[in-house]
Structure 1
Amino acid sequence: MFCIFIFFCFWHLIDGVKIVTVMEGDSVTLNVIDKHRHEIHKRQLWIGPENTLIVKVFWLDEETYDIIYNDDDGIFRDRLQIDNQTGSLTISNIRTTDSGLYELHSSFFQRESFNVTVYTRLPIPVITRDSTCSSSSSESRCSLLCSVLNVSHVTLSWYKGISVLSSISVSDVISSVSLHLEVEYQDNNTYSCVLNNSFIDQTQHLDTELCQTHPDHVHCYSFTEAVIRLVVSAVVGVAAVAIVVYDIRSRRAEKKRRTSQSVPD
């Protein structure tokens, strides 16, 4: 369920358009049918996103051809290659900005279309002990935080086995997203934090050692307990001040009494 796809490029047809899904940084080949190869004295044009001409192929005979890469803006710099046997187009080190419609135009109005979607690689979630305390926390529960950085259009979820415990989805690009979880200490169930979009999952399993012992420096209090402790601390503080003031006044009174006794009549 949580496995990363082994093959990062997927194809299927919708209304004659080949749908191509690929992971950022990989290479993808837009395969065309072999009949284009035998169109002698004909030309083939590759049109990229935003209806931009990116490659021209001129066939003089079965062994002679001329390829012109039209990349004046440098978007595809050194990343395009035409197969001289079939005319198929390969894009290397593909980027998310390369997403869009690609079309091969050849003679007799023949056309092949490819809708390419490039997905960003997802980071692996990081699970840590949560140093903050929520109102439901107690000494018997381990507080965890699963976090990822710089993501968009993803869902972050906590799983217990194959059951979803909680999840959060983000659409816009966000610098950080986190999801909280509390488990019992010595809990031996399998917990996982999963980051996914519509194409791929990234999973981090909870290390069983992370919640086996209590941290000596972390103690969580309920709201009521916190208020009681605050009131007690305030009372103790007021009492301490009163004792100091009383001691100072007593010392002054004793000093004044001794001074008055030492003055001769």
Structure 2
Amino acid sequence: MRFQKPLEVVERVFGVETDEINVSVMEGDSFTLRTNRTEIQSDDEIEWRFGSSKTRITRIAAGHVTKYDDQNFGDRLQLDRQTGDLTISNVSNEHSGVYQLSIIIRNKKSITRFSVTVYAHLPVPAIFSDPSQCPLSAERSSRIVLCSVLNVSHVTLSWYKGTSVLSSISVSDLSISLSLPLEVEYQDNNTYSCVINNPVSNQTTHLDSGLCQIRTDCDLCFDTTEAVIRLVVTALMGVAAVAAVVLLVNDIRRVGRAQTIKQ
């Protein structure tokens, strides 16, 4: 007598479709990931997962909603029972990552991945002008100004002349400080501005023409070389003064010790 091997129960899911969507959001705001379903049927199954480990965060099956404990979300997470849309509020950088939506309808499965990037609030760019670049007279035709921002990531810093981009520099993952120089003619009446931006916001600072005016009182003017010499001389004088004070204090102490010994 021949025995048949028991049949394995296999869940058959056909026609898996995969899609990916990029989402950008500002820190502190909310975002909603949509299923594009108008109504979930009782036999539909919807599941949301998050991160590289694909941690399950919520699920709808047989008409029941299950939320899984996750310290990254807490009460920030809200699931629409009718559509399965997922909303996360008051987001921070820890909510950046890949969210995976799985939908099974009549044994047909579709997967959608949402790549979410949370951007920090942008600082206002600061524009500096080196006083040593200011002209002795109208003979010096240009100056260099510097636009800077501190501790930024995923941004682009640009100089604009009117609405045209003159130069730009970008940074991706690391949180660093950026600086971008610009050479400007003194007689140039165009509008210049420094702009920092990411995909969701921007900040702008306009170049103030009063940062460096042509000087007429040449007693107050000196070039870069002279400026360096003055700084060096001042520093040496300061060192000499400190040394003189130290020597004086030591002399007073020696005299005091000598008098004490004589007594």
Residues 199-255 of structure 1 deviation map (CA, whole Å, 9 limit, x = unaligned): 6543222234444565989845144x679x78xx9xxxxxxxxxxxxxxxxxxxxxx
Task: Name the counterpart of 1:75.
Answer: 72
In the alignment, is the contact (CA less than 8 A) between 2:25 and 2:200 conserved in 1? no
- Report the Cα distance in structure 2 between the residues aligned to 1:116 and 1:177, rounded to whole angstroms: 27
Alpha-carbon distance in structure 2 between the residues aligned to 1:98 and 1:55: 15
Provide the C-alpha distance between the structure 1 equivalents of 2:220 and 2:146, rounded to a whole number of angstroms.
15
- CA deviation after TM superposition for structure 1 residue 16, in Å: 2.7
Is there any run of 5+ residues in structure 1 with no aligned partner, and where?
A: 1-13, 61-65, 234-265
Describe the shift of the 1:195–1:112 C-alpha distance in structure 2 as closer, same or farther (beyond 3 A): same
Deviations 1:49-107 (A, max 9, x none): 221100122444xxxxx4332133x1011111011221111111223332332222243
Tell me by how many angstroms 1:160 deviates.
1.9
Other structure's SS at 2:94 match = helix
Matched to 2:178, the amino acid is V
The answer for the alignment partner of 2:37 in structure 1 is: 34
Equivalent residue for 1:44? Answer: 46
Number of matched residues? Answer: 206
Q: Measured at CA, do residues 215 and 204 of structure 1 come closer, stay the same or move farther in structure 2, by a change above 3 Å?
A: farther
The aligned counterpart of 1:7 is none
The question of whether the paired residues in 2 share the 8 Å contact of 1:94 and 1:118 is answered with no
Match of 2:93 in 1: 96
Q: In 2 relative to 1, CA 164–30 (structure 1 residues): closer, same or farther, beyond 3 Å?
A: closer
Q: Distance in 1 between matches of 2:88 and 2:222?
A: 54
Pair 167,106 (structure 1): closer, same or farther in 2 beyond 3 Å: closer
Checking the alignment, whether the CA contact within 8 Å between 1:119 and 1:199 is kept in structure 2 is no
8 Å CA contact 1:49, 1:98 repeated in 2: no
Q: Tell me how far 1:30 sits from its aligned partner.
A: 1.0
Q: Which amino acid aligns with 2:51?
A: P
Tell me, yes or no, if structure 1 residue 25 matches structure 2 residue 23. Answer: no
Secondary structure of 2:115's partner? Answer: strand
Give the TM-score, by structure 1 length: 0.62
The secondary structure found in structure 2 opposite 1:34 is: coil
Tell me by how many angstroms 1:198 deviates.
Answer: 5.5
Find the residue that maps to 1:168 and give its secondary structure: strand
- 1:142 to partner: Cα distance: 4.9
TM-score (structure 2 length as normaliser): 0.63
- Residues 11-64 of structure 1, C-alpha deviations (whole Å, 9 max, x = no match): xxx9632332333322111111326512x155422111221100122444xxxx
Q: Does 1:54 align with 2:57?
A: yes
Determine if contact 1:32/1:112 at 8 Å carries over to the other structure: no
Match of 1:261 in 2: none
> Corresponding residue for 2:114?
115
* Aligned counterpart, 1:161: 162
Alignment gaps of 5+ in structure 2: 1-16, 234-263
- 2: CA distance between counterparts of 1:87 and 1:202? 36
Q: Which protein shows a greater Rg?
A: 1
Residues 156, 93 of structure 1: alpha-carbon distance in 2 compared, 3 angstrom cutoff: same
Query: Hey, what's the Cα distance between the residues in 2 that align with 1:128 and 1:109?
Result: 61
